[in-house]
Amino acid sequence: MGAALADVVVVDLTTEYWGSLGAALLADFGARVIRVEDLGRGRVAPRAPRALHPDARYDYDADLVQRNKQGLALDLDDPSGRELLHALVAKADLLFTDWPADRLEALGLDPAGATRLRADLVYTRGSGFGPKGPDRELPPLDELAAARTGMMPILPQPGEPPVYAGAGPLYTAALLALGSLVALVHRQRTGEGQEVDASLYSGNLYGASLDLQAFLAMGGDRLTQPVARTDAGNPMSGVLYPAKDGRWLCLTMPDTDRWWPGLAGVMGLAVDDPRFDSHEKRCGEYRLELIRVLEERFACHDGEHWRARFVEARLSADVIEDFEHPATDPQARRNRYVLELERPGAGTIRTLGFPIFMSETPARLDRFAPCAGQHSAEILHGLLGLGEARIQELVERGVVA
């Protein structure tokens, strides 16, 4: 089977987790992603480096965010190193970066400079807060973006500290990949390149879609403050209830007319209970009463009991699990969301797989993260046509590793 992006060459100038992951999504589907590591003193350091757990036998973060890439290491403070990078960009379809604008400009790889090297280049850059506006140069830290999005205060129960969920980088990585693809498809038709941007802020705001849009349209205090678990708008949707063994249950049945007969049956309530016999009553006059009744009844049995009843009645409700569930779930394995494989030096390991299934061009794991410069010679020779002697000389001078 072929790869969706078999003819796409990407120069990957990324340092942040989310930037590297965005480029990895392209590599997973067959783009030749060349990760350039900067050996120069002016290199960009990650703003929020993630420490590996001390027990780790291998770099599991790199296994995800650098997988399927090729590694090239260049000293970009050296004119020869910059020249090689420029030659590489001239051969590339896409430049994918999360580096600060001033570093890129110093390298001659601001959008105008890069486009001079390759006129139809797709130039994708991720940032903290977007390419315009007063805060465009704030550091790209997801915590800062999440703090400005408005979700942190409303996630917990009232009175609890604001919650940082950490999902922003994942939205942003996928937005950068999607934007790149939109531009590549446009380029297929017209031959035109362009600039693509997304940011941690845009990712966080997108993740907050429905809450944010509701506030934009409806305003009011209720949407900007945490709502107590026992004060939900719809007792059958978006509410958590504790089971007898302390495990948490969640229900999502927005259209209560459709689901009420099934839920009433499972809970031992009369379908025609006059307090709850219409959507208006369940979500209006008797809303809090229904929450109270459900809370009381769920507390009578353990989580597993309720899961079995929910499955029987085909209700949209479940027990809340921890990571043990996906780690051992055959469904996650079967769909390659979690992979189990042999890793040199580490034995059998589990690693995150691919969130998109494609029948003709499936994602595949061709290689783990490259070491710095692992493919330098191959790239300089194969793609840029440098001879062995010249490469040797560059290595000796420390321009290439």
- Per CB under 8 A, contacts with other proteins among 39-98 are 48, 50-51, 53, 55-56, 58, 60-61, 63-64
Stretch that binds other proteins, among 35-43, 237-245, 263-271, 383-391 (CB under 8 A): 237-245
Q: Which residue of 15, 29, 117, 369 would you call a contact of other proteins, by CB under 8 A?
A: 29
Strand, helix or coil for residue 104? helix
List binders of other proteins among 9-28 (CB under 8 A): 17, 21, 25
Q: Which residues, 6+ apart, have CB-to-CB distance to 258 below 8 Å?
A: none
Closest separation in Å from C-beta 39 to other proteins: 23
Bridge partners (DSSP) of residue 240 are 250
Among 40, 108, 113, 326, binds other proteins (CB under 8 A): 326
Question: Is 248 near other proteins (CB under 8 A)?
Answer: yes
Give yes or no for residue 110 binding other proteins (CB under 8 A): no
389 binds other proteins (CB under 8 A): no
Strands 94-97 vs 70-74: parallel, antiparallel or unpaired? unpaired
The single residue among 283, 386, 394, 400 that binds other proteins, judged by CB under 8 A, is 283
| CA 78 from centre of chain | 34
User: Does residue 218 interact with other proteins by CB under 8 A?
Assistant: yes
In whole angstroms, give the CA distance from residue 104 to residue 3. Answer: 30
Cβ of residue 181: shortest distance to other proteins, in angstroms? 4
CB of 63 to other proteins, least distance (A): 8
Decide if residue 380 touches other proteins (CB under 8 A).
Answer: no
Single residue of 272, 324, 342, 396 touching other proteins by CB under 8 A: 324
Scanning 79-87, 95-103, 166-174, 383-391 for contacts with other proteins by CB under 8 A, the matching segment is 166-174
User: d(Cα 373, Cα 398) in Å, to the nearest integer?
Assistant: 12
Return the number of the residue (96 or 171) whose C-beta is nearest other proteins.
171
> Which strand (E) or helix (H) includes residue 125?
strand 122-127
> Of 87, 101, 106, 223, which one interacts with other proteins (CB under 8 A)?
223
What is the rounded CA–CA span in Å between residue 153 and residue 147? Answer: 9
245-249, Cβ contacts within 8 angstroms, sequence gap of 24 or more: 245/302, 245/303, 247/302, 247/303, 247/319, 247/320, 248/303, 248/319, 248/320, 249/298, 249/303, 249/306, 249/317, 249/318, 249/319, 249/320
User: CA-based Rg of the chain, rounded to a whole angstrom?
Assistant: 26
Decide if 44 contacts 103 (C-beta within 8 A). yes
Nearest CB to other proteins, comparing residues 111 and 370: 111
Nearer Cβ to other proteins (281/390): 281
Instruction: List, in order, residues 6 or more apart from 386 with CB less than 8 Å away.
Output: 380, 394
Question: Per-residue x/- marks for other proteins, 124-143, CB under 8 A?
Answer: -----xxxxxxxx-xx-x-x
With contact defined as beta carbons under 8 Å apart, do 104 and 15 qualify? no
Cα separation, 249 vs 274, whole angstroms: 26
Contact residues for 49 (Cβ-Cβ < 8 A; gap 6+): none
Q: Please state the closest distance from residue 395 (CB atom) to other proteins, in A.
A: 33
Residue 146 touches other proteins, criterion: CB under 8 A: yes
Stretch that binds other proteins, among 68-76, 247-255, 268-276, 387-395 (CB under 8 A): 247-255
- Select the residue interacting with other proteins from 236, 338, 380, 386 (CB under 8 A): 338
